Amino acid sequence: MNEDETILEYLKHLPERLREEREAREAERQRHFVVAVPEQKTVPGPEESNESEADQQAEKAWYQRISGATWLFICGIAFYLFTRLVAIEKFPIYFFSDEAIQTLAMKDLIVNGFRTPTGQFLPLYFSNGGQFNLSLSVYLQGLIAWLPNSVAATRGIAALATVVFPLSVGLALRDFFKIRLWWLAPFVISALPAWFLHSRTAFETCLGASMYALFLYFYLRYRNNSRTNLIWAVLFGALAFYAYAPLQLVVVLTAAVLLAIDWRYHFESWPSVGKGVLALVFVALPYVAFRLKHPQELTNHLYLLRSYWLEPLSPLSKIGGFVKRYLLGLDPSYWFISNQNDLVRHQMKGYAPMGVWTLPFIIAGVVMACRKVKRENWRVILAALLAAPTGAALVEPTITRLMVTVVPLSYLACLGIDALIKWLEKHFAWRRGAGLIAAGMLGMAGLWMTGDALRNGPVWFDDYGLYGMQWGGEELFNAIKIWHSANPEKEIILSPSWANATDLIARFYLSDPLPVKLDTIQAWGLYYQPPLGENKLFVMTPEEFAWMRESPKFTDWRVVHEVLTPAKTSGFYFVTLRYADNVEAVFEQEFLDRKVPATDSIELFGQTVTAKHSQLDIGTIKQAFDGGELSLIRGFEANPLEIKLEFPEPVKVSKVTVLVGAPPTQLEVVVTTPKGELITRSIEVGGSDVVRPVTVMFDPPTEAKVINLAVSNIGEPEPAHVHVWEVSIE
């Protein structure tokens, strides 16, 4: 590959080069049949010497014309892929719902004729957990959608896509930073713990960061007098923007900074700028159309992530919160010290996210970048570093949201390593082998980390449940398949409480229709659901099993199978049981007790108001009147969820608004005036993909001594969970 060639150009001209090589070999074969005639020896001139060297180079096989550095780079890429793909289904030990949905969403799209359930053709975004945040990662799964569902395939295609990260960094270091040890890039990136863990999953975070790396690479090509590459920079910037939601702000800010610092260069060539603008319009139009169709989606996304931007804070407080979180994303103690800032399933136990060994090299890289800030290539990396934490700063920073920061940090680490080895070459006799020694050390570090993860990773943490590793996956569902095949007449009831969105994981492993019912044993302890006996098999977590054993409502329980965790403790129990005798009367009394309204007091209109309401299982009644949209209350079982407000002094009411969830909803408000008159207003709204306000008006405003609110999930019988995010009375 020539240094001036991009990856795409190299692949484009590859067939032509192979044809030229075949012709050269044929010409060489023909020369063997020509009788050699002795010629008088002459001293070749400079031009003849150059032509002779060129002929000799052309006569070499294609692999002989590849430089040693390029071969080392190819070995590094192969090493990177090996450490990503080896036993990829075994580590990480969980298979998360956010991974399963990638394949399921793509297969559902194909089955539905490339349309969503609402009829949209080739959607820009796919829904996941109530928010539209999946895009490129789903379409990537189309490459393996023809295969049966498997963890190796789902993760493997995602891991393969990340190879463009070390590939682009290495080529950029060679072509634009002109360092001799550019080929070390894949070895360096292979040994980064946080990237190692997440690039072996199907999470969209590493895919987005990889697209961002390509965005930087093609911008560097554009900035180094290859102006046609601006279109490619825009394209890969857009792919990064769509691939992962936290990258949207990062990409926009990076582009804005690069536009500002390279302003003069951009407008030296209006044709290239014009093409870039057209490309930007082309890639932005789908997002504009999406936002017009879903105007509340950004707010809904921030709400689901519990962003402080939606809290009733002053603008100054919000800016302060952003700066605090932004600085955390650049905090060396986060990146270079093993810590517990992230959930355990996002940690490599004992490893810092970037690896503590990178710290001196990154410091050296930052110092050099600051000294060379007037050079365009170095400015690009600094701009990327400063922009990278901004997306995570909108909510709470986590390693997944900060993963894009690994891209500029990797550049700086490689530049720092090269600078150190240059210094060594000036002072030590063994300088010629310094690069190979560095590659060997990095390779050993990568192999050690890979082996440690595969060997010890399954027992790094002992919490295998919902708030820990969410382990289960293949081991659990293989056991369910075996049990179902042997006992097809039995109903299997699988607990969903061990992982997020267990229904998606079950679909991935068991396919549709599901041969199991998702429910917990607590549901049978809350409501009387006969018959209960050998015909039902409950798959319980250890916590549920302990609860069941203590409950007087069940008897004759029997464990027929256990699924053991990697630590050889019980992860799941397969249990049969029956109700205790005469237990029905206990259920009836408990049901009557739950019908009794709860009573509390809240502050409204400067008064202490008595609030009587249906029983709740999430939140308190005060949270429904706190003025914030992030707090949630949920009815325990009542449908409608009723709230009765009794005011010491009458208040004037003109409007009542309730923030509700997705189901079709009815809101009924009954106002009792000081004279005892009843005034009723009600409204019904259809289903929705987002949290939305439902409002009833009182025109003219009405004096109220008592206000009764009833929020119903239309068409849903009791028991039902009615969700309310906020109640506003004006």
Three-class DSSP labels, 416-463: HHHHHHHHHHHHCHHHHHHHHHHHHHHHHHHHHHHHHHHHHHHHCCCC
- CA pair distance 369, 209, nearest whole angstrom: 21
Please calculate the CA angle 392-215-359 and round it to the nearest 5 degrees: 55
Token pair, residue 158, equals 């995602």
- Does 61 map to a domain? no
Instruction: Please list, in sequence order, all residues whose beta carbon lies within 8 angstroms of the beta carbon of residue 149, skipping any fewer than 6 positions away.
Output: 103, 508, 509, 511
Do 712 and 672 have their domain in common?
Answer: yes
- How much is the pLDDT for 715? 87
Domain that holds residue 385: 68-459
Do 522 and 443 have their domain in common?
Answer: no
Do 551 and 651 have their domain in common?
Answer: no
User: In the listed set 525, 548, 582, which residue is the last one of a domain according to the structure?
Assistant: 582
- How much is the pLDDT for 60? 65
Of 668, 664, 682, nearest to 722 by C-alpha is 664
Do 516 and 412 have their domain in common?
Answer: no
Number of C-beta neighbours around residue 202 at 10 A: 27
Tokens 């099993």 label which residue?
545
Q: How far is CA 59 from CA 2, 522, 692, in A?
A: 18, 77, 71
* pTM across the whole model: 0.86
Query: What total number of domains does the chain contain?
Result: 3
- Does 39 map to a domain? no
* DSSP code of residue 212: H
Do 713 and 674 have their domain in common?
Answer: yes
Of 557, 539, 240, 229, nearest to 387 by C-alpha is 240
Token pair, residue 23, equals 């012709």
Do 723 and 648 have their domain in common?
Answer: yes
Q: What is the CATH number of the domain that holds 623?
A: 2.60.120.260
Token pair, residue 446, equals 């990568």
User: In the listed set 555, 582, 609, which residue is the last one of a domain according to the structure?
Assistant: 582
Strands lying side by side in the sheet with 516-518: 516-518, 491-494, 536-540, 570-579, 554-564
Residue ranges of the chain whose pLDDT lies below 70: 1-63, 429-432
- Does 233 map to a domain? yes
Q: Strands 692-713 and 641-660, how do they pair?
A: antiparallel
Omega of the bond prior to 286 within 30 degrees of 0, cis? no
Q: Could you give phi then psi for residue 649, rounded to 5 degrees?
A: -125, 140
Token pair, residue 636, equals 């325990």
Do 454 and 480 have their domain in common?
Answer: no
- How much is the pLDDT for 32? 46
- Does 468 map to a domain? no
Identity of residue 593 = D
- Does 354 map to a domain? yes
- How much is the pLDDT for 387? 97
Instruction: Please measure the distance between the N-terminal and C-terminal CA atoms of the chain and give it in whole angstroms.
Output: 70
- How much is the pLDDT for 131? 84
Token pair, residue 98, equals 């956010």
**Do residues 559 and 532 lie in contact, with contact meaning Cβ atoms separated by under 8 Å?**
no
Number of C-beta neighbours around residue 458 at 10 A: 18
- Does 63 map to a domain? no
Identity of residue 652 = K
- How much is the pLDDT for 37? 38
- Does 40 map to a domain? no
Do 370 and 325 have their domain in common?
Answer: yes
Do 512 and 559 have their domain in common?
Answer: yes
Do 494 and 434 have their domain in common?
Answer: no
Do 248 and 357 have their domain in common?
Answer: yes
User: In the listed set 525, 550, 582, which residue is the last one of a domain according to the structure?
Assistant: 582
Do 455 and 531 have their domain in common?
Answer: no
- How much is the pLDDT for 49? 53
Q: How far is CA 560 from CA 304, 416, 517, in A?
A: 40, 59, 18
- Does 588 map to a domain? no
Helix, strand, coil % over all residues of the chain, rounded to 5: 50, 15, 30
